């Protein structure tokens, strides 16, 4: 109702009450408004019944209690409770504020102290790690001096004192120590110890500074030979990540020397999937290009060039391109004096000839390659050189010898002679197309006319990627023989 008064009347009323007009309106709002409106309500049921009820409601207002004219909401009742007990609620609010402030400060200082403690722990651990690394590098320097003096056993003993958890600083000296000790163990055929150092060498060579170095590229061959030399599956399991990492880092190289060593180092063990073979396509093409148009005569040394033929043959063998691999192996110079390379080529040739069904040729190549490898290991491995073959070349050859021996000696002899081919009176149909040395395997597949399939023929079907039909029924009877023709995977 005060809002309906004019400005002069409102100021006069406020002056009589000793209060400002704005404050008077604020005080009159709320409970007094509800009391006045209830008193003026047109509906008798909603008005005060008597003047006494109006007086009681006004007294409630003066006492800070809830008035009957106002709707009894929870917030309204709480406000009235607080106004009636201002001191108590003020004290409670002060206590609560103090508790919250204290809790906040305690939490803040707790996290501050914990962060400081963690930082101190990190600094202590870093200091301990740095100190351990510094001590380890001092040990590496001492080991390097022992190696210079030819004391390999003493150098190995020093390096073994370094805890396995200590991170060595990637450096050329660290790589050299790991490499030389690993090679020393390998040359003494202590493969477990050699594998430990070659795994360490692999870790050191992960640094960008080391990986592209000439020595690190050579290490692809040494690491592979050191990990696979024992034939232990657990050591061989470490070879796969090394191979994949090498392909990722060096697979796009345009350097024929790097490409050749990548092929040789990555194919010591059969790839576990087709993607690995496909990822070696570019290195293969780089090596192949380096051998074309007379490049082998002008840009390749006599010691390095023939290894590229072997590298190409290695990939072709793994792809199932056996006839091409045989041609590569037979392309080595007749005057080649690198016995490790000759042994590797003969063993690759033996495997591929066996795959092609040429058992006699396979046996002859296996005999020649195996004799070279066995003679070398009887005489003892040495570090070697590029012209005669390094120790890892001989180890790789022996790994290949195991593979060739397992394949050739476990397979039945192919039927190469006409008497053997007609052992059951079965003649090859005239319309059957023959290709090179495949006759024996195919006739063995045909067997005695009763559907017998020989192991040699089954071996002939191994890993051919493209299907086709070889031969057709002839007038004299016979069978359609499903075979797979050799094709380039690229």
Last residue of a domain, one of 365, 386, 408: 408
Last residue of a domain, one of 169, 201, 231: 169
pLDDT value at 469 more than 70: no
- Domain holding 279: CATH number? 1.25.40
Give me the pLDDT at residue 301, please.
Answer: 53
CA separation for the pair 441, 413 (Å, rounded): 9
Label the pairing between strands 384-385 and 468-470.
Answer: unpaired
- How many Cα atoms within 13 Å fall on the side-chain side of residue 39? 17
Q: How many domains does the chain have?
A: 4
**432 compared with 139, residue with greater pLDDT:** 139
Work out the pLDDT band at 478, boundaries 50, 70, 90: very low
Last residue of a domain, one of 382, 408, 434: 408
CA separation for the pair 46, 24 (Å, rounded): 27
> Does residue 59 sit in the same domain as residue 200?
no
> What burial class does residue 1 get, using C-beta atoms within 10 Å of its C-beta: 0-12 exposed, 13-18 middle, 19+ buried?
exposed
pLDDT value at 429 more than 80: no
Q: 279 near 251, Cβ under 8 Å?
A: yes
Q: What is the mean pLDDT of the chain?
A: 76
> Does residue 148 sit in the same domain as residue 179?
no
Q: 209 near 183, Cβ under 8 Å?
A: no
Tell me the per-residue pLDDT of 315-327, one tens digit each, with 9 for 90 and over: 999 999 999 999 9
Residue 490 resides in a domain: no
pTM over 0.85: no
> Does residue 191 sit in the same domain as residue 288?
yes
> Does residue 158 sit in the same domain as residue 183?
no
Give me the pLDDT at residue 326, please.
Answer: 95
pLDDT value at 20 more than 80: no
Q: Which residue has the tokens 């080991």?
A: 143
- Structural domain that includes position 472: 418-483
pLDDT value at 252 more than 80: yes
> Does residue 236 sit in the same domain as residue 341?
yes
**140 compared with 42, residue with greater pLDDT:** 140
> Does residue 130 sit in the same domain as residue 260?
no
Work out the pLDDT band at 17, boundaries 50, 70, 90: low
pLDDT value at 365 more than 80: yes
Q: How many CB atoms neighbour CB 432 within 10 A?
A: 20
pLDDT value at 31 more than 60: yes
Report the share of the chain in percent with pLDDT over 90. Answer: 37
> Does residue 400 sit in the same domain as residue 424?
no
């Amino acid at each position: 109702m005060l809002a309906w008064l004019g400005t002069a009347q409102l100021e006069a009323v406020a002056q009589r009450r000793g209060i400002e007009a704005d404050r008077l309106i604020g005080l009159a709002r709320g409970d007094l408004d509800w009391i006045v409106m209830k008193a003026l309500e047109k509906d008798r049921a909603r008005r005060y019944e008597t003047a006494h009820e109006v007086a009681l409601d006004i007294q409630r207002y003066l006492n800070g209690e809830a008035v009957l004219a106002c709707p009894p909401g929870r917030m309204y009742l709480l406000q009235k409770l607080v106004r009636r007990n201002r001191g108590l609620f003020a004290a409670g609010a002060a206590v609560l504020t103090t508790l919250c402030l204290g809790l906040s400060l305690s939490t803040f200082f707790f996290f501050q102290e914990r962060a400081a403690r963690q930082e101190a722990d990190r600094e202590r651990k870093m200091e301990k790690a740095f100190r351990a690394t510094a001590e380890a590098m001092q040990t590496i320097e001492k080991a390097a001096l022992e190696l210079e003096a030819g004391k390999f056993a003493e150098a190995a003993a020093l390096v073994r004192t370094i805890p396995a958890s200590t991170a060595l600083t990637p450096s050329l000296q660290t790589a050299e120590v790991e490499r030389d000790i690993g090679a020393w163990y390998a040359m003494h055929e202590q493969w477990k110890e050699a594998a430990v150092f070659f795994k360490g060498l692999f870790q050191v060579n992960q640094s960008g500074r080391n990986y592209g170095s000439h020595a690190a590229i050579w290490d692809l061959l040494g690491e592979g030979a050191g990990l696979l030399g024992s034939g232990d599956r657990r050591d061989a399991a470490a070879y796969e990540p090394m191979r994949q990492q090498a392909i990722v880092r060096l697979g796009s190289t345009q350097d024929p020397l790097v490409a050749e060593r990548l092929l040789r180092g990555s194919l010591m063990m059969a790839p576990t999937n087709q993607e690995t073979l496909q990822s070696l396509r570019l290195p293969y093409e780089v090596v192949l290009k380096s051998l074309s148009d007379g490049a082998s005569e002008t840009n390749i040394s006599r010691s390095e060039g023939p290894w590229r033929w072997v590298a190409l043959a290695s990939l072709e063998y793994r792809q199932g391109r056996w006839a091409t691999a045989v041609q590569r192996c037979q392309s080595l110079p007749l005057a080649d004096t690198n016995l490790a390379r000759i042994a590797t080529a003969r063993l690759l040739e033996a495997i591929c000839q066996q795959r092609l069904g040429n058992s006699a040729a396979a046996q002859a190549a296996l005999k020649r390659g195996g004799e070279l490898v066995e003679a070398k290991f009887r005489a003892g491995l040495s570090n070697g050189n590029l012209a005669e073959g390094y120790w890892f070349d001989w180890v790789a050859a022996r790994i290949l010898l195991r593979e060739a021996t397992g394949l050739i000696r476990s397979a039945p002899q192919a039927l190469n002679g006409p008497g053997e081919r007609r052992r059951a009176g079965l003649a090859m149909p005239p319309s059957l197309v023959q290709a090179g040395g495949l006759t024996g395997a195919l006739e063995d597949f045909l067997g005695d006319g009763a559907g017998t399939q020989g192991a040699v023929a089954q071996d002939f079907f191994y890993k051919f990627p493209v299907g086709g039909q070889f031969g057709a029924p002839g007038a004299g009877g016979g069978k359609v023989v499903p075979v797979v023709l050799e094709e380039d995977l690229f």
